[in-house]
Amino acid sequence: MNPLGIHALVWVGGFSREECEYAVQSTRQAGFDILEIPALDPEAIDIAHTRAVLADHGVKGVCSLGLDPDCDISSPDAEVVRRGEERLAAALSVVSGIGGDFLGGVVYSALGKYNAPVTPEGRRNMVTALRRLAARAADAGITIGLEVVNRYESNVLNTVPQALELIEEIDAPNVMVHVDVYHSNIEEVPATAVRQAAAAGRLGYVHIGESHRGYLGTGTVDFGAFFGALREVGYTGPVTFESFSRAVVSPQLSNRLGVWRDLWADGADLARHAHAFITSHLTRS
């Protein structure tokens, strides 16, 4: 079966040493193989400590992030782009330092609502920055995942075909599509998105989340069709559960993600339910 992951924000709101220990231990206890660590502030992560804790519990660490507006590599402002490249390089160092092999998320723009399309100059800056990031990642054996998100969280990639077009421009073998069923459920048909990414040989990472970010199977996502597509294309990569609640996530990030309702408060119960739900769907014939 696919390795199963869980986002650290199911467990903790930050990633201090104490939060790291709790998140890793909880991940293993819930039966997951991978902990996806948010590298929103890479400098705040104790790399050596995180690597040791992951090793102690037999959990693999990977990272994801969304860029801030002041370090948006899709900006026409060269200084903003420079800061974005520095942020991505720092996040890449975290992945390498903890022994991971994947950096994904909204690594191509700021995470948030834009008021206009990306400009041609901004797109050129983004492609150039991502080519450099991909080259550094390749040297470290790391895959870069471009997470396709909804129109309210980026103006660059809202569908898998858009991601494939960008990947063709970047022209690096270690850049893959990061499909998130929560976002795909808004912008495209999730099962079709899986097939399109797989047909291009670029399906590299999968996020599982319900339409309202709560318990799986209680919203509008057609998980039967989505998991059926994953089985159909023979996807063997990570399948990672992601959910957010203001009960855990900081108010600032909750506001940014539009988390206005607490659909859960017990991360452990949510995680156990998600593990059983995902496993049951992945193992169906």
- CATH code at position 259: 3.20.20.150
Residues 200-229, mean pLDDT to the nearest whole number: 98
Token pair belonging to 111: 């995470």
The domain in which residue 183 lies consists of: 4-282
In the three-class reduction of DSSP (H, G, I as helix; E, B as strand; rest coil), residue 145 is classed as strand
Q: Is the pLDDT of residue 285 over 80?
A: no
Instruction: Tell me the pLDDT tens digit for each residue of 61-120.
Output: 999 999 999 999 999 999 999 999 999 999 999 999 999 999 999 999 999 999 999 999
Instruction: Tell me the pLDDT tens digit for each residue of 46-58.
Output: 999 999 999 999 9
Instruction: Tell me the pLDDT tens digit for each residue of 156-210.
Output: 999 999 999 999 999 999 999 999 999 999 999 999 999 999 999 999 999 999 9
- Sign of the CA dihedral with 265 first, then 240, 154, and 125 last: positive
Q: How many domains does the chain have?
A: 1
Is the pTM here over 0.95, yes or no? yes
From 85, 147, 153, 210, active-site residue: 147
Question: Which of 264, 259, 256 has its CA nearest to residue 106?
Answer: 256
From 85, 153, 210, 242, active-site residue: 242
Helix, strand, coil percent values for the chain (each to nearest 5): 45, 15, 35
In this predicted structure, what is the pLDDT of residue 15? 96
Instruction: Tell me the pLDDT tens digit for each residue of 23-50.
Output: 999 999 999 999 999 999 999 999 999 9
- Annotated active-site residue 147? The verdict is yes
- Annotated active-site residue 242? The verdict is yes
Residues 239-253, mean pLDDT to the nearest whole number: 94
